Amino acid sequence: MNLTAAPHVPDHVDPALVVDWDYQRDEKLSQDPYARYAEWIAAAPAEVVWTTANGGHWMIMRNAAIVDALQSPELFSSKHTAIPPRAGSIKLIPEELDPPEHTKYRSILNRRLGPKMMKFFDARTRHLANALIDAVQTDREADLMDALTIPMPCSLFLEMVGLSTDRTREFVGWKDELFKGGDAERAAAQAKIVGMLEETIADKRVNPGEFDLMSFLIHEGRVDDKPISQEDLMSYGFLFFIAGLDTVTSLMTSCFAYIAQRPGTQERLLAEPRSIPDFVEEMLRRYSVVNPVRTATQDFNWRGVRVRKDDQFVCSTVIADLDPAEFSDPLKVDVERAENRHLGFGGGPHRCVGSHLARTELMATLQEVLPRLPNLRIKPGAQLTYTPGSLLGLASLPVAWDD
Ligand code: HEM
């Protein structure tokens, strides 16, 4: 007798579209999530499929359809960023708002995170990257995630909200509890981050910093012609914590892992520093990180499927960037792709507001670190594995280098 109940599939879903792919927990994801996603893309029975995993939701399997969904917030709301929706989390501004509300909160950030500010962040990144490498360079081996790619964006986040980088390690601990802990740990980490943000906001109200984002939002930010409320300042701060740390860590780790596994790549990038931006762009495509989620605002028919209000969709940037209809030989890293219109930073109104900052961090770190770790390679015998979850990233990066 089979005691396993068949997963429930809602009546409005065509049985021909049903799969059981779990983009959060599938066991093959820890070996090579990109190969696994490529298998799903190849096996998809249609451009939009229904998976029975995670309580049941849609997965969009083609680049063009993902772009369409991300650009149609009137049908695809950003009100939940998790599948299934998570209760009790702080509202993320502007990520969980839809236009026109979203636009008011987003445009303030564009002013502070646009290209003009990048000179400042470039200089800070170079300084922080060198300080982190100073601490390990003579060891000739390290887990590069512990040594560099985790603390780097954390330190920059601290500077961005106007706090001392002395607290980086403490913050890394909170971040791990928040992203990887169980419910109790997550709640405790959230409480600590909230406490830190409250302290920072109180301090910056009376002691504004010259460059930090929090001082800017407090003293210059306006929504509907009013100063930004305390509650909204907290939401902004919390989103920066969530959006700008693991994403950069993941991409930066992928860059160093790729280089460490392919002899000659480091030398080529050093000999031709002008190729670093193209390299970073191709890594943003090939090793995309984020799986944005959208929720149907109403019942509608779309690309051959019947959608019901509150159905959830994964609009994966990984799937979009590995779609062979958009990128030939998508698993290959090809820095000379003629058109690299990747979706690594998403698309539509929520396209990453930190994209300039992320690119600056990635390029400046590579430029500073590659000359300091000659003959960078994976430590003999080490196996690279990925942490399963909705955001893709390596679990560790054990490397060695020469004097
Ligand atoms: C390589 C690093 C990064 C990647 C791959 C990345 C990717 C993304 C993606 C795909 C989205 C869209 C999410 C959606 O549509 O729901 C997004 C949004 C966002 N990102 Fe990034 N991000 C990165 C770095 C950063 C950094 C450094 C910051 C910090 C300033 C940041 C802040 C944000 C914010 C605030 C949003 C929400 C924007 C909105 O809702 O209008 N990101 N990011």
pLDDT given for residue 33 in this prediction: 97
392 close to ligand 1 (CB < 6 Angstrom): no
Q: How far apart are CA 49 and CA 46, in angstroms?
A: 6
Domain count along the chain: 1
The amino acid occupying position 99 is P
Average pLDDT over residues 102-110: 92
Query: Is 95 within the bounds of a domain?
Result: yes
Ligand 1 centroid to residue 152 C-alpha, Å: 17
Query: Is 1 within the bounds of a domain?
Result: no
317 close to ligand 1 (CB < 6 Angstrom): yes
Whether residue 8 has pLDDT greater than 70: yes
pLDDT given for residue 90 in this prediction: 77
Contact status, residue 48 vs residue 303, Cβ threshold 8 Å: yes
Ligand 1 centroid to residue 82 C-alpha, Å: 15
Q: How far apart are CA 259 and CA 50, in angstroms?
A: 37
289 close to ligand 1 (CB < 6 Angstrom): yes
Mean of per-residue pLDDT scores for the chain: 93
With left for phi above 0 and alpha for psi between -120 and 50, is residue 56 left, alpha or beta? left
pLDDT given for residue 4 in this prediction: 59
Ligand 1 centroid to residue 251 C-alpha, Å: 12
The pLDDT tens digits for 318-343 are 999 999 999 999 999 999 998 899 99
Query: Is 2 within the bounds of a domain?
Result: no
The amino acid occupying position 100 is P
> Which DSSP string do the residues of 13-29 spell out, in sequence order?
S-GGGEE---TTT-GGG
Query: Is 57 within the bounds of a domain?
Result: yes
Query: Is 9 within the bounds of a domain?
Result: no
> Which DSSP string do the residues of 174-194 spell out, in sequence order?
HHHHHHHS-HHHHHHHHHHHH
Query: Is 251 within the bounds of a domain?
Result: yes
Ligand 1 centroid to residue 236 C-alpha, Å: 12
Query: Is 360 within the bounds of a domain?
Result: yes
What pLDDT band is residue 5 in, cutting at 50, 70 and 90? Answer: low
Query: Is 4 within the bounds of a domain?
Result: no
Give the domain range for residue 19. Answer: 15-400
What pLDDT band is residue 61 in, cutting at 50, 70 and 90? Answer: very high
pLDDT given for residue 1 in this prediction: 44
The pLDDT tens digits for 243-284 are 888 999 999 999 999 999 999 999 999 999 999 999 999 999
Whether residue 207 has pLDDT greater than 70: yes
How far lies 133's CA from each of 139, 156, 314, in Å?
Answer: 10, 15, 38
Task: Return the CATH number at 80.
Answer: 1.10.630.10
What pLDDT band is residue 362 in, cutting at 50, 70 and 90? Answer: very high
Average pLDDT over residues 220-237: 93
Whether residue 357 has pLDDT greater than 60: yes
Average pLDDT over residues 54-60: 97
pLDDT given for residue 3 in this prediction: 53
Contact status, residue 260 vs residue 377, Cβ threshold 8 Å: yes
